[in-house]
Amino acid sequence: MKTFEGFMTGVNLGGWISQFRSLSKEHFDTFIVEDDIKQIASWGMDHVRLPIDYIVIEDDKEPFVYKEEGFAYVDQCIKWCEKYNLNIILDLHRAAGYSFNSLSDNKLFEDEVLQKRYVSLWQAFARRYKEYGNNLVFELLNEIVEPNSDRWNKLSRRAVEAIREVDVDRTIIIGGNHYNSVNTLNELEVIEDDNLVYTFHFYEPHILSHQKASWEPLLKDLEFDVPYPSGPDVYEKYQAKSQEFRDTYTFAETVDKEYLRNYLQPALDFAKERNVPVYCGEFGIIENVPMESNINWHSDLIDLLIENNIGRAVWTYKLMNFPMVDRESKVRNEELIKVISRK
């Protein structure tokens, strides 16, 4: 299996210039600072994944006009990463007309103007960062959710071709449909390009990783705890839930390392069949889960990723319900940091 060199152990910077609490200079200037990048490097990480919302770079009232003050935050993060020997992925987390958390409002895949804005924005990134080497990588779009992969295959190919018009050497990451599921990687069309990496996200089982999440209607009032590992007693409670619950979330009588291995298998098969590198761009456990289960799950999943030479970036560094550190950037749990930083 091909390896995504230089991107083996990392962390997401969610909540900074993506999914931010306020579109304000005060937030952007303080949420992530140089000391945060220094701390991440001190953990032994080799990269960060930087989620970016298009609105930081481009205003809807002035399409195709890019904001220098928005690009400046990306520039600054790149410079900090260079200073502390970290590589960086620029992840377009939200595009004009598309976000994974506003599915009913998305128009990107049916609106040619929005698609042109999307492609043009990637060319702007390509032009701005053309002189950088393989320390900087582009990720086309976060967590596609479409009825099937057809429209995403067309648009992602357009984006790759547009970037290649400017930069023939930049590594580009493409994710599959249905929130970067491992099960949709094989729906991605083959693009004849030797510098592509394919990404998936891993939050399985979802009733563990997102238990009692306030934004999940079927989980926010879950009346039982889901530890890791778990056995028949928890499965019985799962089975006693509604048909809608069981149709929405998969679970098993025994949830342990072998369960995770089996869930990961489609990504391994895809990498072998296509002879391409795969990358786990997000994984994590919500802070509602007791730390023992949190650490156990991370430890088993990371064992499997290391075993298969798959790079990864944990979700996420600060706050955002899946934190490694608190609001003041203080580490929540030292053992968890040791686990997620393993090589």
In this structure, how many other beta carbons lie within 10 angstroms of the beta carbon of residue 53? Answer: 21
Q: Check: CB of residue 126 under 8 Å from CB of residue 169.
A: no
Q: Is 5 a catalytic residue?
A: no
Q: Check: CB of residue 281 under 8 Å from CB of residue 91.
A: yes
Give me the catalytic one of 58, 143, 146, 204. 143
Give me the catalytic one of 282, 307, 334, 335. 282
Q: Is 143 a catalytic residue?
A: yes
Task: Report how far apart, in Å, the C-alpha atoms of 103 and of each of 106, 147, 150, 295, 302 are.
Answer: 5, 11, 17, 32, 31
Q: Check: CB of residue 144 under 8 Å from CB of residue 188.
A: no
Q: Check: CB of residue 97 under 8 Å from CB of residue 108.
A: yes
Across the chain, which distance is largest between two alpha carbons, in Å? 57
- Nearest Cα neighbor of 209 from 284, 142, 153, 159 is 284
- Nearest Cα neighbor of 176 from 201, 204, 194 is 201
Q: Check: CB of residue 249 under 8 Å from CB of residue 207.
A: yes
Q: Report helix, strand or coil for 252.
A: coil
The DSSP result for 24-84, as a single string, is: SHHHHHHSS-HHHHHHHHHTT--EEEEEEEGGGTB-TTSTT-B-HHHHHHHHHHHHHHHHT
Q: Check: CB of residue 70 under 8 Å from CB of residue 57.
A: yes
Active-site residues, by number, are 143, 282
